C-alpha cells in the first residue's frame, strides 16, 4: 500500500462516512460519542474497570440511526471512544482534565478514575493531532460541501444520555443562538407526534459542535439528546459493560425514529 492509500485508510478508520441515498437533502447528522474503539496503547493506560464499562457512551446510536442515508441525510460517525478524544469539546487550555470541558477527560462524569497510567503531554498532543483534528477537518469539509450545493445546511448533532434530567428527548440550540425556530419546531413536532416527551434547552443546550458550527453563515445546528431507556433495556444500564441493542425496546424505537427522521428530511429538503 502506498503512502497516499495508507493515509486514506487511516482516515477511514477514524470515522464512518455514509453518503445520502436517493434525493440528497441539506442535512448532516453527526455522531461524535457512539464509537467504542480504543487503540491498544491507550487501552493499556486505562483502568480495567473503565475499559470494560466505557460509561457515558452514546450506546448504539449508529444502529439506531442506520436508516438516515435512505432519507437523503449525510452521516458522519466517530469510531473511536470519547475517552480517546472528546470531539464535542473545544481545544483550549487544560486539554487533559475535567470530563465536561476537556478534550481528554481525566475522570468520568461520576468522578471515577479513567487512568492507571497518566498520559504524557506528548501523548496528549498526539491524540489531538491524530484523532481530534482529522475528524473536525472532515466534518467541516462535509458542511462546506453542503453549503456549496444547497446554500444552507442543517447539522444535527446526535447524542444519548442517562441521568441529569428525566425527559425522553432534549433539543438544544444554545437558547435560540444556533438554529432558527423553524428547524427546532420541525424536529420537536416530529418527536412529539411519535409520542416522545420532548423539551428544549433543558440542561443540554448544545455542546461545542452545536455552538461552533452553528455560528457559521448558512449553517443551523441542533443537538438532539435521547434518554437511554427510550431505545435500550433499562435493566442492563447498571451493569459494568455496554448494553445490548438487540432488544425489543430498540426495535420499537428504531421504527419510530425512522418515521421521525423521514418526516424531518421531507420538511427540510
Q: Per-residue pLDDT tens for 60-119?
A: 999 999 999 999 999 999 999 999 999 999 998 889 999 999 999 999 999 999 999 999
Query: What is the phi/psi pair of residue 205, to 5°?
Result: -95, -5
**pTM of this structure:** 0.94
How far separated are the first and last CA of the chain, in Å rounded? 40
Return d(Cα 107, Cα 21) in angstroms, integer. Answer: 40
Return d(Cα 112, Cα 106) in angstroms, integer. Answer: 9
Q: Provide the β-strand partners of residue 6.
A: none
Q: What is the mean pLDDT of residues 203-229?
A: 98
Return d(Cα 103, Cα 86) in angstroms, integer. Answer: 5
Q: What is the pLDDT of residues 12-54, one digit of tens each?
A: 588 999 999 989 999 999 999 999 999 999 999 999 999 999 9
Sole residue written with cell 420537536: 188
Cα angle 142-198-156, degrees, rounded to a multiple of 5: 0
Residue 211 C-alpha cell reads as 455552538
% residues pLDDT > 90 (the chain): 91
Say if CB 172 and CB 205 are below 8 A apart. Answer: yes
Say if CB 72 and CB 21 are below 8 A apart. Answer: yes
Q: What is the mean pLDDT of residues 154-169?
A: 96
Q: If you compute the radius of gyration of the chain from its CA atoms, what whole number of angstroms results?
A: 18
Based on the number of CB atoms within 10 Å of its own CB, is 153 exposed (0-12), middle (13-18) or buried (19 or more)?
A: buried
Return d(Cα 212, Cα 90) in angstroms, integer. Answer: 9
Using DSSP, state whether 212 is helix, strand or coil. helix
Q: Provide the β-strand partners of residue 104.
A: 96
Residue 105 C-alpha cell reads as 477527560
Sign of CA dihedral 226, 227, 229, 235: positive
Return d(Cα 211, Cα 224) in angstroms, integer. Answer: 13
Amino acid at each position: 500500500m502506498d503512502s497516499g492509500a495508507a493515509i486514506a485508510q487511516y482516515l477511514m478508520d477514524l470515522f464512518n462516512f455514509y453518503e445520502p441515498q436517493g434525493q440528497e437533502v441539506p442535512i448532516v447528522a453527526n455522531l461524535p460519542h457512539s464509537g467504542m474503539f480504543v487503540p491498544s496503547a491507550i487501552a493499556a493506560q486505562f483502568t480495567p474497570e473503565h475499559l470494560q464499562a466505557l460509561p457515558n457512551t452514546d450506546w448504539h446510536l449508529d444502529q439506531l440511526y442506520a436508516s438516515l442515508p435512505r432519507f437523503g441525510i449525510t452521516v458522519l460517525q466517530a469510531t473511536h471512544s470519547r475517552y480517546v478524544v472528546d470531539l464535542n469539546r473545544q481545544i483550549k487550555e487544560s486539554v487533559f482534565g475535567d470530563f465536561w470541558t476537556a478534550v481528554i477527560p481525566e475522570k468520568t462524569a461520576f468522578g471515577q478514575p479513567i487512568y492507571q497510567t497518566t498520559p504524557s503531554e506528548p501523548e496528549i498532543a498526539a491524540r489531538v493531532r491524530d484523532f481530534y483534528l482529522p475528524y473536525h477537518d472532515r466534518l467541516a469539509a462535509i458542511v462546506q460541501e453542503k453549503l456549496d450545493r444547497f446554500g444552507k445546511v442543517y447539522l444535527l448533532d446526535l447524542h444519548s444520555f442517562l441521568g441529569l434530567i428525566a425527559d425522553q428527548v432534549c433539543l438544544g440550540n444554545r437558547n435560540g443562538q444556533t438554529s432558527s425556530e423553524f428547524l427546532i419546531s420541525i424536529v420537536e413536532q416530529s418527536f412529539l407526534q411519535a409520542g416522545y416527551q420532548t423539551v428544549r434547552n433543558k440542561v443540554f443546550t448544545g455542546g461545542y459542535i452545536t455552538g461552533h458550527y452553528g455560528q457559521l453563515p448558512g449553517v443551523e445546528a441542533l443537538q438532539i439528546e435521547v434518554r437511554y431507556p427510550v431505545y435500550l433495556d433499562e435493566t442492563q444500564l447498571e451493569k459494568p459493560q455496554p448494553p445490548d441493542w438487540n432488544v425489543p425496546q430498540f426495535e420499537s424505537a428504531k421504527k419510530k425514529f425512522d418515521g421521525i427522521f423521514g418526516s424531518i428530511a421531507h420538511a427540510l429538503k
